[in-house]
Amino acid sequence: MKKYSKLFVLIIVFFNLTSHTVYSNQNIDRYMQSGILIDKESSRVLYEKDSSKQVPIASLTKIMTLLIALEAIENNQVSENDIVNISNNSARLRGSTYNLKKGEQVELIELLKALMIVSGNDAAVAIAEHIAETEDNFVKLMNNKAREIGMHKTLFFNCHGLPIYNLNNPDDRIENLSSAKDLSILVKYLLDNYYEETLKITSIKDYSNPSRNFQRSNTNPLMDIFPEVDGLKTGYTGMAGYCLAFTAPVKATLQDEGDFRLIGITLGSSSQNERVLASKNLLEYGKNNFVKTKVLSKGEVVSTRYLFGSEYLSVNVVSEDEIWVIRSKNENINKEIKLSELSFPVRKGDLLGELVYTGENGDILGKTNLLSNTDIVWIPIKAQLDIVKRSILRLFSKQ
């Protein structure tokens, strides 16, 4: 049945891809309750729908579980080669699992793969207990990290994303909560700090472990449609709906353009098929409508200033950095140069101001310090005479 379901999704997407793509806001986000698309490097928001709305996030929880685990590995608290003893707490988990058994011993790296590729709930608990002794301790680390990196709408109750039911009232349940914006912050932080470690796991399309007689395809449905998609995580519960966090590089098509990476979050789709369509629409919107262009070179002269107004005391004002911006293909970029007053002496490298590029909607796309590229440590005679002449002319012009 799963094979037929997957084929049905691919058929729907095929016909959608071959139709002429014309986007309106409704067409981009019609299949999701909330979502966001950002550029990874700049964090510029390229599209959003109710991105600050707090909602259940199901197994997208596991992105934070991975982050805490990778930090523990980096800090030498654990090793990816550690042998993890599987507890009853882990083995009894249901839903999507790695089929772990109580008393089994599994390498931590294999649990990380199971966590992200097949969404193993049992793997999540095994990781949590190995790092923090108990899942409750691990969840504290998750919530602390969320606050640290600015995820203000996020609250974790467990490390896997399954609902926590009230045994006295089955309709009363607790779920991990976040927002599309918070999740984009999390994914960006994860990729900024653990790019290779993350993508070497999440880019695996088919995972198998012969020693455990286990084989499963990656749960990320976009990987079957867009070869460039190399992450990240699916999620589903009845309250959360069908969710997906994805990332993909976008290659430059022209010589004066640059590569960039998209991060997308879609939450609350009503079916697996609609989750695919929601994510596909968001990814295509980013690929088809935005480019990365260089607007400024490092050391480029952006202005010339004159100390005391004298043409003999010119100062070249140059950029400290080069600037690339993510912009829509038809977007006009605004440039604002903010300069302070020149004062004698002027030395090469002195900070003279700031250059800011903004988009049509006011987004800051890039900025850099402006520096002096000129030394003026003494004033030649002709400049002194020019300054005196200008002072006399100004004096008479006021009379």
Rounded CA separation 237/60 (Å): 11
Residue 16 to residue 226: CA distance in whole angstroms: 13
Active-site choice (34, 42, 51, 59) = 59
Q: Given 49, 62, 113, 280, which residue is catalytic?
A: 62
What's the distance, CA 305 to chain centroid?
A: 39
Assess contact for 191 and 198: CB atoms under 8 A. yes
Residue 280: active-site member? no
Pick left, alpha or beta for residue 349 (phi over 0 → left; psi -120 to 50 → alpha; otherwise beta). Answer: left
Going by the annotation, the residues of the binding site for substrate are 233
179 a catalytic residue: no
For every residue of 96-156, DSSP letters joined together read S-----TT-EEEHHHHHHHHHHS--HHHHHHHHHHHHSSHHHHHHHHHHHHHHTT-TT-B-
CA distance 70 to 82: 13
Whether residue 43 lies in the annotated active site: no
Separation between Cα atoms, residue 304 and residue 353, nearest integer Å: 12
**What residues form the annotated binding site?**
233
Residue 268, by phi and psi: left (phi above 0), alpha (psi -120 to 50) or beta? left
Give me the catalytic one of 119, 184, 269, 319: 119
- Give catalytic residue positions: 59, 62, 119
